[in-house]
Amino acid sequence: MTIYNEISKLQPFFRETDEFKALEETVAAVKSDEEARQLFTNFRDIQKKLQQKQVAGEELLEDEYNYLQKAAQLAQQNPKILAMLEAEMAMSTVLEEANRMLVEPIQSLYEGL
């Protein structure tokens, strides 16, 4: 068995966490609300486009950055999107802690250097 097989066995446990369930519920709420879904989709599309531009080595223009900021502000004013983003942050905290635990053996190798 590979490490990837073992890690994939953890997926069901993540799905049972309160944080994942909250994220699942808030994503469903955004999906079921046409206005919220459109606001979030618009923000995400702008964000992706500008990230691709940066990856390609292009600099963002000030008006592009401002447009992204306004789209983010609009999205975050929607209570369903805000709840989803907060749930996503909580889930990220769980994943960061899991990652910290996975990396701990590597970090211990460097102790005493």
Which CATH code fits 15-109?
Answer: 1.20.1500.10
pLDDT of residue 27: 98
pLDDT of residue 40: 96
pLDDT of residue 9: 93
Torsion of CA 76, 66, 46, 71, to 10 degrees: 20
CB 46 within 8 A of CB 68: yes
pLDDT of residue 50: 94
pLDDT category at 100 given cuts 50, 70, 90 is very high
Task: Give residue 78's Cα distance to chain centre.
Answer: 18
Q: Locate the domains of the chain by residue range.
A: 15-109
**Interval 19-49: pLDDT, tens:** 999 999 999 999 999 999 999 999 999 999 9
**Interval 74-87: pLDDT, tens:** 999 999 999 999 99
pTM: 0.83
The contacts found for 37-44 with CB under 8 angstroms, 24 or more apart, are 39/74, 39/75, 39/78, 39/81, 40/75, 40/78, 40/81, 40/84, 42/71, 42/75, 43/68, 43/71, 43/72, 43/74, 43/75
